[in-house]
Amino acid sequence: NAGVTQTPKFRILKIGQSMTLQCTQDMNHNYMYWYRQDPGMGLKLIYYSVGAGITDKGEVPNGYNVSRSTTEDFPLRLELAAPSQTSVYFCASSYSDFYEQYFGPGTRLTVT
Amino acid sequence: AQSVAQPEDQVNVAEGNPLTVKCTYSVSGNPYLFWYVQYPNRGLQFLLKYITGDNLVKGSYGFEAEFNKSQTSFHLKKPSALVSDSALYFCAVSGAGSYQLTFGKGTKLSVIP
C-alpha cells in the first residue's frame, strides 16, 4: 500500500494564481483532512471530509476549497494565492475520528 | 473549544537518560489524545493514543504516555533515549464526537550522544 500520497512536493506560485493540491489514499478510509503547518505553530485544520460528498470547514478555511467525489481523493484548491498561504500542506486520512491519522509527505508551497 | 499546550519548545536529554515531553489539554467531555512524531521534511507519524481504559498507554519505538484526568495531562515518556529519537513531537486532542483534531505547537527533542 502506498498510504497517503500528495502531489506536487514543491510549488512556487505568483500572487493571484490558482492551483490544486492533490491527495490520494489507498486505505479505504472514510475520513480525510487537510492541514497547513507553519513554523512554531503546529498544524491547523483547513478542511475535512467524513465521506464521499461530505466536506466541512476546519479552523482556517478562508482562501481554500475542497471536494470529495470519491473515497480515495481529496483535492485542495487555492484560489487567488496570497503570500499568507505560503506554508507546508499535509493531507491525512483515518478510519474514524478516534483512530490515528495517516499523513502524506506534504507539499511545500511558496507564494511570491 | 479544545486546545493543547506543549509548554516546552525544546527538550534536551543525554542518550540513555529517560525523557519526558509534556502535554496538557482542554476539551469538553472525554478526550481522545494522540502523540505524533515528525522527522525533518517528512509527514507526521503516529506514536500512540489514549481513547479509554488503562491510563498508561504504550506505543511505537518504546514510547509510552500517561493520561492524568485530574491534571488534564498526557505526557510522553521513554525510559532510555536514543539519538534517533531526535525529532519534533506533537500532542493532539479531539473531543468525543468531534471530527477535528487540535495539535499543540510541537516540542523539539534533541538527544545528545
> pLDDT (tens digit, 9 = 90+) per residue, B57-94?
999 999 999 999 999 999 999 999 999 999 999 999 99
CA distance B57 to chain A (A): 14
Q: For residue A8, what is its C-alpha cell?
A: 506536487
pLDDT (0 to 100) of residue B74: 98
Q: Which residue has the cell 476539551?
A: B27
Cα separation, B33 vs B19, whole angstroms: 19
Q: For residue A10, what is its C-alpha cell?
A: 514543491
Residues of A in contact with B9 (CB under 8 A): 40
Residues of A in contact with B51 (CB under 8 A): 98
Kindly state the average pLDDT of the residues B98-109. Answer: 91
Nearest residue of chain A to residue B34 (CA atoms): A100
CA-based torsion, A15, A59, B67, A90: positive or negative: negative
Q: For residue B105, what is its C-alpha cell?
A: 505547537
Residue B90: closest CA among B71, B76, B78: B76
Give the closest of B41, B49, B105 to A42, CB-based: B105
Q: Which residues of B46-79 are buried (b: 16+ CB within 10 A; e: fewer)?
A: bbbbbeeeeeebebeeebbbbbeeeebbbbbebe
pLDDT > 90? residue B107: yes
